[in-house]
Amino acid sequence: MAEAALTNSRIETEYRNRTKKSAQLYQEALELLPAGLTHDSRTLLPYAIYAKRANGPRKWDVDGNELVDYFGGHGALILGHCHPAIIEAVQRQITEGTHWGSSHELEVQWAGLIKRLVPCADRVRFTASGTEATHLAIRLMRAYTGKTKIVRFVGHFHGWHDQVAQGSTSHYDGGRPAGILPGIVDETILVSDDDLGPVTDVLTKRDDVAAVILEASGGSWGQVPLPPGFLKGLRALTTKHGVLLMFDEVVTGFRWSRGGAQQRYGVTPDMCSLAKIVAGGLPGGAVAGRADILDQIDPDRAKAAGREKIAHQGTFNANPLSAAAAIATLSIVEMQDVCATAEGTAEELRAGLRKILVEEGIPWGVYGEASSFLIFQNPKGVAIDPATFDPLALKFKGLKGAKDANLSHRLRISMIANGADFMGAPGGLVSAMHTSEEVARTLDAFRTSVRWMKAEGDIRG
Ligand SMILES: Cc1ncc(COP(=O)(O)O)c(C=O)c1O
């Protein structure tokens, strides 16, 4: 079938015309992989691009399109793609062994870097992913307190394991997602983060809460920002009630600042989970936090404290390749303020995007903290001035709760057709390797994209 016959949309036609090999691969993948994908958040309509290689802030797809990349390895790449120090470390390591099945010097160096950088990190335990890190942290906190309930916030994402399933990407009313045991859902108390009222209420009325966990950026790397004073208030509240506080710093660690969101906001939790940047762009994660909580994993110290030893295994914990990449990355983070560099570029991008919305008369909003940027596409057509847009006014219900995935897909395929790859929010994460050149290219792509969307009736208001 001729491409033009598939759609009347210019946007879709431009996208399809540039991504023919990706379209073929997607057709093959549909017979092999559910939804043709390996990660839910790589969904894109009509189909996603297939990447081939990357360097610094850019990547190339199988059709040869060069794109400014804002996925950044789902946030794992604060130093962009293929940083020479990481390549050198991984190449050296691969010739010395990828898995010794032994303790090794690199894991000690790696943990030392985390301890120096992250305020709450008295002890570190490595895992193979962020999902594993939040899973382990929850087990440790329940065991430590002898209590079962975990308080979470609607729309905060902590990986895909059962304990954190409802209310993160669906079932915002706390309902039970298919495949999750009712007992597990019952042990989670899901509350709104619009203000401190609901969590205060829970902690005041109940004495069975082990811990409160949250993304300190606000849900989904800041798509729903927290009200001012929320973290400090939550720290005081949890301390008052003897409840543990855990920050999920899988995205914010080594990005919101060298010491993560906890350092940026000056609030130290009892525990945190780390992944993405912590492993230098290779697979890995970690739980870091108070020695008395993590030492439940240590049989002697657990015994001395009158506690049961908590089991924790994992074939790829602190694997040497990830450790080598991690040390290379975190050493640079420690020596140079790459977080500030990336944040400066993100601010330039946010300002540029905002200016285009104003100039083109589009009632969307641009926001985001540190090196993130987010675009609110205003699916319900509420009155918005892009020059003064304040996401806090919309809260969860108006932001993530109101999201129209199709509108996001439309912007993203337009952006790809014009040379930039955004994440689904829509938005993205900027690395320290992005420069004003990438910003300028992205802004050109954005102006063209919103004009196309306007012409096709995608923009309300
Ligand atoms: C805040 C947060 N926590 C946990 C996870 C899960 O990490 P992983 O994908 O490494 O399992 C993610 C992944 O995006 C995340 O954003």
CA distances from 223 to 4, 397, 450 (A): 36, 11, 21
Measured CA to CA in angstroms, residue 452 lies from 10, 218, 417, 445 at distances of 8, 32, 11, 11
> What 8-state DSSP symbol labels residue 224?
B
CA-closest candidate to residue 55, choices 74, 69, 43: 69
pLDDT at 6: 60
Question: Are 7 and 155 within one domain?
Answer: no
* Three-state DSSP class for residue 54: strand
Domain edge (last residue) among 319, 335, 351: 335
Distance from chain centroid for Cα 112: 24
The answer to whether 120 and 290 have CB atoms below 8 angstroms apart is yes
Q: Which residues of 238-268 are buried (b: 16+ CB within 10 A; e: fewer)?
A: beeeebbbbbbbbbbbbbbbbbbbbbbbebb
pLDDT at position 7 is 76
Within this chain, do residues 77 and 94 fall inside the same structural domain, yes or no?
no
How far is CA 92 from each of CA 87, 95, 96, 334, rounded to the nearest angstrom? 8, 6, 7, 22
Both 92 and 69 in a single domain? no
Residue 166 and residue 279 in one domain: yes
Residue 113 lies in a domain: yes
Residue 327 identity: I
**CA-atom Rg of the chain in angstroms:** 22
Query: Of 251, 271, 316, 372, which is best to mutate to test ligand 1, by the most ligand atoms within 8 angstroms of its C-beta?
Result: 251
Tokens found for residue 39? 């990660």
Is 62 strand, coil or helix? coil
pLDDT of residue 351: 98
Closest alpha carbon to 312 in 322, 290, 297, 292: 297
Residue 445 DSSP SS3: helix
pLDDT of residue 3: 42
The H-or-E segment that residue 111 falls in is helix 105-117
Tracing tokens 């525990």 back to the chain, one arrives at 271
What's the CATH number where 390 sits?
A: 3.90.1150.10
Ligand 1 centroid–CA 262 distance in Å is 17
Same domain, 91 and 222: yes
Is residue 71 in contact with ligand 1, taking CB distance under 6 Å?
Answer: no
| Domain stops at, among 335, 365, 394 | 335
Cβ proximity of 371 and 255 under 8 Å: yes
In this structure, the answer to whether residues 322 and 360 fall within a common structural domain is no
Q: Which whole-number Å values give the CA distances from 381 to 128, 442, 454, in the listed order?
A: 42, 25, 14
Look up the domain containing 92 and give its range: 84-335
Whether residue 461 lies inside any domain: the answer is no
> Residue 56 gets which letter from DSSP?
B
Place of tokens 């079962």: 148
b/e per residue, 318-354, with b = 16+ CB within 10 A?
bbbbbbbbbbbbbebbeeeebbebbbbbbbbbbebbb
Number of domains present in the structure of the chain: 2
Q: Is the same domain home to 121 and 33?
A: no
Q: Does residue 249's CB lie within 6 angstroms of at least one atom of ligand 1? A: no
Whether residue 388 sits in one domain with residue 346: yes
Does a structural domain hold residue 460? no
| CA proximity to 276, closest of 253, 256, 299 | 253
Query: CB atoms < 10 A from the CB of 216, how many?
Result: 27
Handedness of CA 14, 17, 18, 21 (dihedral sign): positive
Q: Choose which residue among 40, 158, 249 to substitute to test ligand 1 binding: the one with the highest number of ligand atoms within 8 A of its C-beta.
A: 158
304 and 166 in one domain?
Answer: yes
Residue 169, both tokens:
């990407």
- The overall pTM is greater than 0.85: yes
pLDDT at res. 2 = 38
Q: Map tokens 């208030």 to a residue.
A: 233
From the CA of 283, give the closest atom in ligand 1.
10
**Separation CA 389–CA 392 (nearest Å):** 9
In a domain, 112, yes or no: yes
Q: Is the CB of 446 under 6 A from ligand 1?
A: no
Residue nearest to atom 10 of ligand 1 (CA): 130
| Domain CATH code at residue 307 | 3.40.640.10
CA 74 to ligand 1: nearest atom:
14
* CA-proximal residue: ligand 1, atom 13 (nearest): 159
Phi-psi region at 178: left, alpha or beta (left = phi > 0; alpha = psi -120 to 50): beta
Q: Are residues 331 and 350 in the same domain?
A: no
pLDDT tens string, the chain, 461 residues long: the values are 334 446 789 999 999 999 999 999 999 999 999 999 999 999 999 999 999 999 999 999 999 999 999 999 999 999 999 999 999 999 999 999 999 999 999 999 999 999 999 999 999 999 999 999 999 999 999 999 999 999 999 999 999 999 999 999 999 999 999 999 999 999 999 999 999 999 999 999 999 999 999 999 999 999 999 999 999 999 999 999 999 999 999 999 999 999 999 999 999 999 999 999 999 999 999 999 999 999 999 999 999 999 999 999 999 999 999 999 999 999 999 999 999 999 999 999 999 999 999 999 999 999 999 999 999 999 999 999 999 999 999 999 999 988 999 999 999 999 999 999 999 999 999 999 999 999 999 999 999 999 999 999 999 76
Residues paired with 123 in a beta bridge: 289
Contacts of 40 (CB under 8 A, 6+ apart): 169
Tokens of 320: 């040497």
Give ∠ CA 135-138-144 in degrees, rounded to 5.
140
Between CA 30 and CA 396, with CA 42 as vertex, the angle to 5 degrees is 135
Residues 273 and 361 in one domain: no
Task: Give residue 134 CA to ligand 1 midpoint distance, Å.
Answer: 9
Question: What single letter denotes the amino acid at residue 162?
Answer: D
Compute, in angstroms, the gap from residue 425 CA to the centroid of ligand 1: 15
- Tell me how far the alpha carbon of residue 448 lies from the centroid of ligand 1, in angstroms: 33
Give the domain-ending residue among 312, 335, 358: 335
How far does the centroid of ligand 1 lie from the alpha carbon of residue 133, in Å?
9
- Same domain membership, residue 374 and residue 279: no
Torsion from C-alpha of 332, 335, 340, 345, nearest 10 degrees: -50
To the nearest 10°, the Cα dihedral for 20, 24, 30, 35?
-20
